[in-house]
Amino acid sequence: MGAFLFFYDRRKHVETFMDEYTEARATYPEAEISYVGHSNGTYILASALQRYVTLSVKQIFFAGSVVPRAFPWTSFRDNGRINSIRNDVASGDWVVAYFPALFELIHNSRASSG
């Protein structure tokens, strides 16, 4: 849970993911890469898509996403960086139920102040 709550830890996990992604691309340049993520893993991919224009994945499967509803998936699909996404939500997962709202609140407060 700590990695989920602290910005530095979240950013570190995104950077680690991108290191692994880059290595996989270099090793298997013709591979079609798909992504499966749950909870913090959904944040990692969404954040990486926003920060790294070199990232592209064919298919995305999210289970219990913490990504804000307003995330610009259409723009990533339109520019060819993703092909499709599916998000299955578990209504009994309290972390997934409350933390997306918290992150949207933080994001909205930053956007309105800056």
Map out the domains of the chain as residue ranges.
2-109
Architecture of the domain made up of 2-109: 3-Layer(aba) Sandwich (3.40)
Q: Which H, E and C letters describe 42-105, residue by residue?
A: HHHHHHHHHHCCCCCEEEEEEEEECCCCCCCHHHHHHCCCEEEEEEECCCCCHHHHHHHHHHHH
Residue 114 CA to residue 83 CA, distance in Å, equals 33
Predicted TM-score (pTM) of the model is: 0.74
Residue 89 scores a pLDDT above 60:
yes
Question: pLDDT, tens digit, for every residue of 16-70?
Answer: 999 999 999 999 999 999 999 988 899 899 999 999 999 999 999 999 888 888 8
pLDDT tens track for 34-49: 999 988 899 899 999 9
Strand partners for 61: 36, 86
Extract the tokens encoding 71. 């995330």
